[in-house]
Structure 1
Amino acid sequence: MMKLFYQKTARTFAGLFIFPLLAGSLSVAQAAELAGTLELGGATSSRLISNVNVTLYEATEAAPIKRGSAKTNGSGQFLIETDVDATDSIFFVTADLRPRVRFVTVLGPELPAETTINELTTVASSYSMAQFYRSGQISGDPFALTIAAMMNDNIVTPATGESSPVLLNSPNADQTNSLRMTRSLASLLHRCAINPYIAASLIRSTKEYGKPSPANTAVALANLARDPGKNVSHLYRLSKFRPAFTPALEKMPDAWTVTVKVNHSGNDDTMQFGGPANVAFDAWGYAWIPNNVPQGSPNSGDYLIVLQPNGQPADGTNGSPVSPITGGGIYGGGWGVAIDAQDQVWVANFGWGGPDYYPSQTPDSPIGNGTGSVSLVKAEDGEVLSNPDGFFGGVWRAQAIEIDADGNVWVSSFENDSVVVFKDGDPDNAVSLKQYNGSRPFGLSINPDGSAWVADSGGLDGQFTSSLAKVKLNAFGELEQTILLPIGDTLKVVVSDSQGNAWLASQGNDTVYCISPEGVVLGAFSGGGINGPWGLAIDGEDNVWISNFGPLESGSNFTDGGISKICGANPDSWPRRKTLGDPLSPDTGFTVPSAGDQVLLANNEPLYGPDGPPSFSPLMRQTSLQIDAAGNIWTVNNWKPDFDIDNAGDNPGGDGIVIFVGLAPPPPVLF
């Protein structure tokens, strides 16, 4: 039976309706018209755009439903009459210019009055819908498709066929290479429309091993979006021949990834992004982000940032949250954030320090150096549910926080070397287990059997012994340790795959480990751009994604950050001649270079301030990456690139979130 993503009221944002979802499509029967223009290379004066079949579809979980069609006139214009104007899924429109050359525009859940179909709209649709193109046509869960449609609109404006304001402006534009990336890809599609041999080359270059050739150029581009490191140099050469869309890439990319950077918090005057630590998605697809510090300060931030599924700040529409959120003990957010089955957001507060008094559960804790706490917020509307000082329950400087299937809240209590569990989510009914002195637990992950893996970091700088522990709640309701395995150096995040294996990020020795449920080390892996691994995520095919923090050493300036991918424990998802732990990303990782402009904050000041050195690194030192329902990877810029400036303590907090569009198979829904 299909799981319900939503159990509450509908929300509206960015022109899209988010409904409670039931199995099947719920189209609204109402006569409507869609007027549009088919363009080629930004123009309408071409013999290739006249007398072209244009078809309107409604996406479903199976084959899309044809909702109308028309032929273009000599100017590329068309008019489609249809009996539906809204759906709980999405509409899209296709144009077949010649055999195997298809252009596509994604329209979203409401039928607009006008649209444009061209190369740029096809790039946007293929990338945003990449995870839903696997059958050769757009299909999938309605909720996930609406999220993907929102990301489509971050790349292109469907009405005009032009690059979206999101890509045209800071923090994107030429602060990243994605605006030019989309234009290089659009130029490649333009050549496909003119020259059938170029189209055949694109289709041949993006064919998946053991599967039929892509049916058309739109499907081929979706294949490239899912495997962007494939035939990079060949496709780059094709895109450079008489480019129709400029400015385009000036040098060959590491991979054909398209990203969207977001950095508006909802209050960019006093509560900018400053060291975002992690991301958790609620039942509406909203992103909840703990924030370490105020931008430009080493002190503890007292706000939690909430973004809509398209990366824009939550604005209160239809009773939704308003970002940023304060109160309830939110102060110096650590790494931990988790959302339970009741759509309550649990936030771990580390309390980094600063001049303000922070409440403490220990009388001898000095002012300004409190013990941290746990905060609780209602995801539906942002109501703060925790006490003004947060919940303690034995937690001292919290890092990871996770919820098991029974509603127990697990917390890594860093400073007192303990694992703390709020049984049934009740801080007044807490149990704890102290690890060894100096264990400094950081990461947590819940296994399919209800036990938890615990990554004992040995300290933020790895000054003590690192280890992996396995802990469970026994029949007496007490915490019991069943495995303790010394391993790695300065451990950070641990995640469980579908088989209960632990994947462990060892920041200090640039290694990702895989450990069986019985505690046997199955491998130690590097490559694919792994460099100071910190965050981990398991995708829907059980492969492993890694966010990289880079080296923690004086003199390091991590200007070439990227995310990495390696083979997970499911052999069915391994490419040909690959095995457990083999890299699936380029040697550089998937990077996001600047196209020449320096990185700016949300207030348009330089990353290190007006008096600091310029930075050209939109992707910085990352502590987490998470995959949303549409397969977009959200990775967080926790620290700025220059270690010496950051480590001096004056201005460490990284800026914003970088979203890799359509790159990963979405993980399964837990609740």
Structure 2
Amino acid sequence: MKQLTSTQHSALGRGWRAIALSATLIFTLAACSDGGSSSKDEEKHLKLSGHVESNSTGLADYNVKLYASFSGDGGSWVPLGSGSTNRGGEFTIRYALSESQQAQQAVLFVEATRGSAMLASAIGSDNSRIDTPIVVNDHTTVATGNAFAQFISASGIAGDAIGMYNASQMATNLADPISGSVGAALASSPNGDETSTLATFNSLANVVAACVAEESDCAELFAAATPPGGTPASNVLEALSNIVKYPSYPGYPDDAADPIFGLSKGSPAHYLGLAARPTNWLLFLKVTGGAYSDQSPSNLVNAVGNIAFDALGYAWANDNYEPQYPGQPACAGLRLIKFSPSAQVVPGSPYFGGGLSGAGFGITLDPVGNIWTGNFGFEDPPCIGTPQEAPHNSVSVFQPDGTPISPSTGFTQGNISWPQGTSSDRAGNIWVANCGNDSVTKIPNGDPTQAINFPLGPLAPGELPKLKPFSTVVDLDGNVWVTMNRGDSMMIIAPDGAILKTLTAGSDPARPLINHPIGNAADSKGNVWIANSNWLDAPCPASLREGPATNPSITLYQGDTHEPYPGSPFTGGGLTVPWGISVDGNDTVWVFNFGPDGIEATPTTALTGISRFCGADTSKCPPGMKVGDPISPATGYMSDALERITGGQIDRSGNVWVMNNWKQNPNPDLNPGGNSIVILIGAAAPLNTPVIGPPVPLAAVAAGKR
């Protein structure tokens, strides 16, 4: 098969170095210098000007400090200069960068403090200059606190260089660092007044403004943002970071039990915030690929199934269906979509060809950066028997630049049938779960001419599948764990294709260990979590045994013994038809619900939530929690931005990207797909990307010292 050449690898490296150099220029030359100076003087005598304000009112006598996080210094927190605001809130900071600092990627941060009050901003740009002064205000503070939540500590902001740079770009979706206004992505469709996210953002800005106005409100904020069992926050940014990491308070839905909501409603409340307390304080940014929310053939996406991130944090997503108007037949999706780390559509995307055909849950990157998708062949029934009828027998492969490697039919070798889960192991072997014929296909070293099919159970010719393999995940030993959606089981398959063990529902019918399973995910230690939907019977090709969707759960299997962890299965935390599942850099478990229930004739008005559980590393959980205890409230983390979710993954900055795969109340046979992705800003501990095999936490997440 076609692999990346050394020239392509070199070009990719040059591209990233160009990004890094551009970022250096952004944060050095872009901070305008004195006119008439030489190039050498320009390097020594830089300045950054701006305005510190709250509620559009300049703030005098604030101490303003400029910091940078440099990639070559391990992302440490380096002071560059300081100044103070005049009566109108204006400031100028002069600073210098050494030659070595100019050669590194850097992110600049401005902090303005007076007493306990703090306002902050992260400065970023896609250009090589910032020609106007910046604004540091309530909105830029909330944007910085959320986008950098996983990199903030009492000692500063520091961490993975790529994750930090990407976070600076994500922050601009929330607030414009030049004008200080709400970011264009948050202010407009599909966000704006169409979801509660902007109001949540404004409520948090009111909390910051309250601290600016009253010292006592700062003390109340710091106390409210104390981590469970920890010490109170030491400053506003740390408080905002803690609110993201622990976004729900006890006592819901009692408004009085949430001090953050109380602060947001105090006087002055400058911005139009929430009228009622939310289930959580996370920011759910909705992405459709443009400033629209209505479905039409001109949309970018329709029923995105799953997502994967490359080494630079770019997101790759697949489409179940072609974009179409509501209520119109939608045939198989034919596109692969690439988003920047800030959720902008990459020029040239979407990509076509390579045999793409209604790709489902399966998408992965291999060790050389190629993107693989499993072509399940999703389509509405009216498409069957037409020239648009989808095949269900291939995988597609694309280079990192979007060029298809696979032919127009896809790669079909290895008896692929209705493929779902598609995973690479660390040796570059691709594993495909064949929902349609109860088998898995191994593509050794990514070479389809060597593809091997391994049957997982007896199946007569023409017989419907009895097991329905669905999701695949690779453990530390290279074994592949495959969920059997109809078989109520999970099989562990050795690298040579031998079945090592079949895990079953167990002996207690009231608490089955495996129950209509869908997604599975490994943690950093090689343990495997499984999402038990208690509902889905995958349509490969027919759904004949749907469950009641009344007993959803998740189960943990230990990587060393292959036995269920004591106490499994685990419930609560807002589980409702769990579908996708992912583990973050703290081994915390995130579950993506297709709920609020199964697809019923009676429409539902309930919102979907995202569930979160304490993982195998209980030291990263709130004190007193055990493995499998829910961290999210009984509602889950709800938002009106969410619909029916399938896949979800965590990026290098700690953002959780989830797929609004179906509408809340769909017609299952006529364009049921949703047309958006939702990003939970800064919500999870970041991961090294791409995730191949068990996830690898980013070692540089811990903040450096001032």
**Length-normalised TM-score, structure 2:** 0.82
Match of 2:638 in 1: 591
Counterpart Cα distance in 1 of 2:676 and 2:278: 22
Match of 2:198 in 1: 179
Counterpart Cα distance in 2 of 1:39 and 1:105: 12
SS at match of 1:69: strand
1:486 maps to 2:504: yes
1:395 maps to 2:411: no
SS at match of 2:244: helix
Match of 2:90 in 1: 77
Equivalent residue runs for 1:52-451 within 5 Å: 52-60=62-70, 61=74, 63-84=76-97, 88-98=105-115, 100-108=116-124, 112-113=130-131, 114-230=133-249, 233-264=258-289, 270-296=298-324, 297-315=329-347, 322-353=348-379, 368=389, 370-379=391-400, 381-393=401-413, 394-436=415-457, 437=459, 438-451=466-479
Offset of residue 579 of structure 1: 0.4
CA deviations over 1:94-123 (Å, ceiling 9, x no partner): 10122x221111002767341111111110
SS at match of 1:524: coil
Match of 1:470 in 2: 492
8 Å CA contact 2:107, 2:124 repeated in 1: yes
Match of 2:511 in 1: none
8 Å CA contact 1:9, 1:20 repeated in 2: no
Match of 1:606 in 2: none
Counterpart Cα distance in 2 of 1:569 and 1:411: 27
1:385 counterpart letter in structure 2: I
SS at match of 1:54: strand
Offset of residue 284 of structure 1: 2.3
Offset of residue 188 of structure 1: 1.1
Counterpart Cα distance in 1 of 2:612 and 2:629: 9
8 Å CA contact 1:206, 1:220 repeated in 2: yes
1:510 maps to 2:552: yes
Structure 1 residues 396 and 305 mapped into 2: Cα distance closer, same or farther (>3 Å)? same
Counterpart Cα distance in 1 of 2:630 and 2:135: 39
Structure 1 residues 493 and 369 mapped into 2: Cα distance closer, same or farther (>3 Å)? same
Offset of residue 631 of structure 1: 0.1
Counterpart Cα distance in 2 of 1:257 and 1:279: 21
Structure 1 residues 172 and 467 mapped into 2: Cα distance closer, same or farther (>3 Å)? same
2:287 counterpart letter in structure 1: V
SS at match of 1:189: helix
Counterpart Cα distance in 2 of 1:552 and 1:344: 35
Match of 2:619 in 1: 572
8 Å CA contact 2:330, 2:383 repeated in 1: no
Structure 1 residues 356 and 279 mapped into 2: Cα distance closer, same or farther (>3 Å)? same
8 Å CA contact 1:373, 1:395 repeated in 2: yes
Structure 1 residues 210 and 148 mapped into 2: Cα distance closer, same or farther (>3 Å)? same
Match of residue 56, structure 2, among 42, 53, 56? 42
SS at match of 1:157: coil
SS at match of 2:334: coil
Counterpart Cα distance in 1 of 2:169 and 2:485: 38
2:340 counterpart letter in structure 1: Q
SS at match of 1:424: helix
8 Å CA contact 2:302, 2:323 repeated in 1: yes
Counterpart Cα distance in 2 of 1:149 and 1:251: 30
Structure 1 residues 660 and 539 mapped into 2: Cα distance closer, same or farther (>3 Å)? same
Counterpart Cα distance in 2 of 1:434 and 1:328: 26
Match of 2:677 in 1: 657
CA deviations over 1:478-534 (Å, ceiling 9, x no partner): x10011122222211111112222200111131111112333222101111110000
1:472 counterpart letter in structure 2: A
Counterpart Cα distance in 2 of 1:414 and 1:43: 61
Offset of residue 430 of structure 1: 1.2
Offset of residue 556 of structure 1: 4.8
SS at match of 1:454: strand
8 Å CA contact 1:89, 1:143 repeated in 2: no
Offset of residue 443 of structure 1: 0.5
Match of 1:540 in 2: 585
Counterpart Cα distance in 1 of 2:291 and 2:208: 37
Number of residue pairs aligned between Structure 1 and Structure 2: 607
2:619 counterpart letter in structure 1: D
SS at match of 1:504: strand
Answer 1 or 2: which has greater strand percent: 1
8 Å CA contact 1:407, 1:424 repeated in 2: yes
Offset of residue 667 of structure 1: 2.2
Counterpart Cα distance in 2 of 1:195 and 1:147: 34
Q: Comparing 657-666 with 278-287, which one deviates more in the overlay?
A: 278-287
Match of 1:363 in 2: none
Q: Comparing 562-571 with 101-110, which one deviates more in the overlay?
A: 101-110
1:537 counterpart letter in structure 2: S
Counterpart Cα distance in 1 of 2:379 and 2:51: 57
CA deviations over 1:328-358 (Å, ceiling 9, x no partner): 1011111111001111000111112467799
Match of 2:4 in 1: none
Offset of residue 75 of structure 1: 0.3
Structure 1 residues 369 and 264 mapped into 2: Cα distance closer, same or farther (>3 Å)? closer
Listed as ranges, the gaps of 5+ residues in structure 1 are 316-321, 360-365, 459-464, 594-617
1:185 counterpart letter in structure 2: L
Counterpart Cα distance in 1 of 2:85 and 2:202: 25
8 Å CA contact 1:259, 1:659 repeated in 2: yes
RMSD: 2.7
Q: Comparing 278-287 with 223-232, which one deviates more in the overlay?
A: 223-232
Offset of residue 19 of structure 1: 3.2
Match of 1:528 in 2: 573
Counterpart Cα distance in 1 of 2:562 and 2:119: 51
Match of 1:610 in 2: none
8 Å CA contact 1:328, 1:384 repeated in 2: yes
Offset of residue 304 of structure 1: 1.4
Structure 1 residues 353 and 248 mapped into 2: Cα distance closer, same or farther (>3 Å)? closer
Counterpart Cα distance in 2 of 1:389 and 1:558: 42
Identical columns (%)? 30
CA deviations over 1:400-439 (Å, ceiling 9, x no partner): 1000011100001110110110011111101121123511
Q: Comparing 60-69 with 623-632, which one deviates more in the overlay?
A: 60-69
Counterpart Cα distance in 2 of 1:271 and 1:160: 30
SS at match of 2:57: coil
Counterpart Cα distance in 1 of 2:440 and 2:516: 18
